[in-house]
Chains A and B, each alone.
Chain A
């Protein structure tokens, strides 16, 4: 049933190839990025959540949960 439907779409033959290229290209891009990225900068960005502020003004006492 569905094969009949799909063959009814113009240019359907290229769909699987386009889909594969998108998929492959996407992950190839990610791998290239992974290798080329500047690691020291990555480390810097990773520190971001550790510093909520450069100085806390509201309270004078350090919190100790």
Chain B
């Protein structure tokens, strides 16, 4: 670095220094985002097709819907949007701080570490190695790796901020800091699990508490992984592309504080009408509703930045993608608070409406902003022009139309199906008592959705080609040398300390971070602590006992196959549900459920009261080929469960782990567990043979799964017994 004191206009003081921005790391993350994006969209298309053609791609266990759907969500959230966040942050942070990234080594570790995590997710999820906690399905060793790599990212970012040459941190950087801190908190708290083996663990929370923690995480992953970093990106790239400052900087600060303060409270809106305590549901609903204010404030701030520059939106692909993205943000953040109202939630929850809603956000808000950034950054770091503006326009229209063709049918289908679930005949019975009738009604919508998804995927491929050609036509400026004025040279702590308190905060990233942390912690603590205290007070139902070893093994198969991706285990207290499924679910029924399996979507019917509803033979035949039992079923067959032997290697360890988590298995019971398991398995196998399935033997996985399904929701019908193993 060279130094020469400069003064300009009597206002700018400091020293001119020569530095080089690291564009190579930006390029790497950008290419990764594009690559994983296409993979994630493709897997999404595959699972979308499987919904109306369950035999698509054959009966391979590792390509089954329940295993691929988590792969799709993880790929799009953490691989596509994740890498997009990183290239957006690495590009904008260096320029906002007028500093190269803190450490090239940390940048590299961050990049390769994150890609390794993605690859391990792509390997483990199809193999059924999963915790089943939505958007946090990865098993404990990968969870630890995520924590370490995330710390590397934060360290690199905070180091860069500490070395900045601007006195004040621009608002985009605040959003990045909030992202780093809150995601770290969410990930660590939600991933607390006790390992059984290298690739199997149980959540430390059970039932109601696990659900609350999971949706506190799930909702805030949307808030702090898919929203705040992209808002930071919006506050940097919208002014850049429009070549004018943000509409109101003051509004952006209000937007920031209000958003991070309110967001963290909103998680329970995912659990309305469930067994979660009513006060937590109401609190979640109220805060979710209030969220509309900062969300729309931010959207308006972004769109109004374009005042006087709307003519550019007609011609500049970057702005087109931005404007559609921000508009989709506005639509999603309107839908979100509306669906937090209990009466609307009763209609939309568990339906495809939610799938439409999240795709509007993911494909247009996250996707739109990501593609806008790519089209902005590529020509600049390669010192060239965009290969083809017309291809970018094609991409834009394929994306926008694709999402419309995707979302509108799902909105329509979701509401249609929900109304069918709730419709009664004049005599008081359900109009559609067979769940399958409500499924066949929405199949055409599923077909439409996969067409929309295809358009989006084709658009992304066109975009990737355009960016590839752009890169080929230029040469990467890996180290972009610039001269900047160091405004912090004369006093490292700045001379602004006597000024306003917020200015004081801005000049001190560490203290600023602590306040951000407190702001996000308040909501979490207020909601979680009383629920945790309930643990000893949950209305214990004396007849609810721990699972038998065979049922526990069966439950692990249920988790492995991702049954929760299509079936809920939570009967809500509506007449339409108690008529269809039976008694509504009580919090005390889930006290031994590590992890909970309430699910969030009913592609198939709720299973909480499925126990003893059908004979063993029905389940046996149904799992082998669902269409044999329900002609129009869209459930995929699970023939491998009838052939694979049940693995008993960890049965003892599972009992020990569960006891450590507070499940009252008697001391030493683990030594008897396998013997007990075999007795119960033989009973089921004998029953199956008596029903004509002569090939049924007690050592197969299907036996354990049947044992679990037959147990589901039956405890409250039993005569109370003492807790512990019978």
The distance in angstroms between the C-alpha atoms of A43 and B239, with both chains bound, is 13
The answer to whether A17 has its CB under 8 Å from any CB of chain B is no
Contacts of A6 in B (CB 8 A): 279, 530
A4 x B537 contact (CB < 8 A): yes
A50 x B380 contact (CB < 8 A): no
Q: Can you name the residue of chain A whose Cβ is closest to the Cβ of B20? A: A58
The answer to whether A28 has its CB under 8 Å from any CB of chain B is no
B502 x A2 contact (CB < 8 A): no
A55 x B483 contact (CB < 8 A): yes
Size of interface on A: residues with Cβ below 8 Å to B? 39
Category for how many chain B residues contact A: 35 or more
Q: A30-B257, A43-B249, A49-B172 are in contact. Are A54 and B537 (CB under 8 A)?
A: no
The answer to whether B480 has its CB under 8 Å from any CB of chain A is yes
A-B pair count, CB < 8 Å, reads 113
The answer to whether A11 has its CB under 8 Å from any CB of chain B is no
Q: Can you name the residue of chain B whose Cβ is closest to the Cβ of A53? A: B482
Q: A2-B277, A65-B379 are in contact. Are A48 and B170 (CB under 8 A)?
A: yes
The answer to whether B425 has its CB under 8 Å from any CB of chain A is no
Q: A45-B168, A52-B95, A54-B16 are in contact. Are A37 and B482 (CB under 8 A)?
A: no
| Interfacial residues of chain A within 1-28, with CB under 8 A of chain B in the complex | 1-2, 4-6, 8-9, 19, 22, 26-27
B483 x A54 contact (CB < 8 A): yes
Stretch binding the partner chain, chosen from B51-59, B145-153, B240-248: B240-248
Q: A49-B172, A54-B484, A57-B481 are in contact. Are A8 and B537 (CB under 8 A)?
A: yes
The answer to whether B539 has its CB under 8 Å from any CB of chain A is yes
A49 x B98 contact (CB < 8 A): no
The answer to whether B192 has its CB under 8 Å from any CB of chain A is no
Q: A38-B500, A63-B380 are in contact. Are A49 and B483 (CB under 8 A)?
A: no
Contacts of A43 in B (CB 8 A): 245, 249
The distance in angstroms between the C-alpha atoms of A48 and B235, with both chains bound, is 11
Q: A5-B533, A48-B96, A49-B240 are in contact. Are A42 and B383 (CB under 8 A)?
A: no
The distance in angstroms between the C-alpha atoms of A48 and B173, with both chains bound, is 11
Contacts of A46 in B (CB 8 A): 239, 245-246, 249
B261 x A19 contact (CB < 8 A): no
Please list 25 pairs of residues, one from A and one from B, whose beta carbons are closer than 8 Å in the complex, sorted by A's number. A1-B587, A2-B279, A2-B530, A2-B534, A5-B277, A5-B530, A8-B537, A22-B522, A30-B254, A33-B502, A37-B502, A45-B168, A46-B246, A49-B172, A52-B95, A53-B98, A53-B482, A54-B16, A54-B483, A57-B481, A58-B20, A58-B479, A58-B480, A61-B383, A63-B379
Interface residue ranges, B against A (CB under 8 Å): 16, 18, 20-21, 92, 95-96, 98, 166, 168, 170, 172, 235-236, 239-240, 243-246, 249-250, 253-254, 257-258, 261, 277-279, 376, 379-380, 383, 385-386, 477, 479-485, 500, 502-503, 519, 522, 526, 530, 533-534, 537, 539, 587
- Given contacts A33-B502, A37-B500, A56-B481, 18 further A-B pairs with CB under 8 A are A2-B278, A6-B279, A19-B526, A22-B522, A33-B253, A34-B250, A38-B500, A42-B250, A43-B245, A49-B170, A50-B245, A52-B482, A53-B98, A53-B483, A53-B484, A56-B480, A58-B477, A58-B482
